[in-house]
Amino acid sequence: MMNNVIEATILTGKFKGEDILLPSIPMIPTDIAFEFKRLQCPVRLAFAITINKAQGHSLQVCGLNLENPCFSHEQLYVACSRVRKPSDLFVYAPDGKKRNIVYPTALQ
């Protein structure tokens, strides 16, 4: 981060790997009696937690990154069942399909 610019790298999509600059945008509110100006970067706060930490939570919207396979079937179920409606679940699977990996040594 610099004083008025955030340098970032695009992680996915058509422009993956490209570096971009997000400049601060002057914000001037018009719904108050006095006028002032502030600089604000166009970023949105987000949170990330592991599947194990999400167990027992209800989320309004959930994004699931399946670049790496889930450890067990139960993990995938827990991850997908954190939201009330299927339309609130967003799944990122680069290949378009994923498989669950079960390690035989873990079952012994």
pLDDT of residue 22: 85
Cα dihedral sign, 35-41-42-47: negative
pLDDT of residue 7: 87
pLDDT of residue 35: 83
Comparing 67 with 108, which gets the higher pLDDT? 67
pLDDT at 78 over 70: yes
pLDDT of residue 19: 92
| 22-57 confidence digits (pLDDT tens) | 888 888 888 888 888 887 777 777 778 888 888 888
Q: Is the pTM of this model over 0.75?
A: no
E runs forming strands in 1-108: 5-9, 19-23, 25-27, 38-40, 62-65, 89-92
Q: Could you state, in order of their start, the residue ranges of all structural domains in the chain?
A: 5-40, 51-107
Report how far residue 86's alpha carbon sits from residue 102's, in angstroms, rounded to the nearest whole number.
26
pLDDT of residue 102: 63
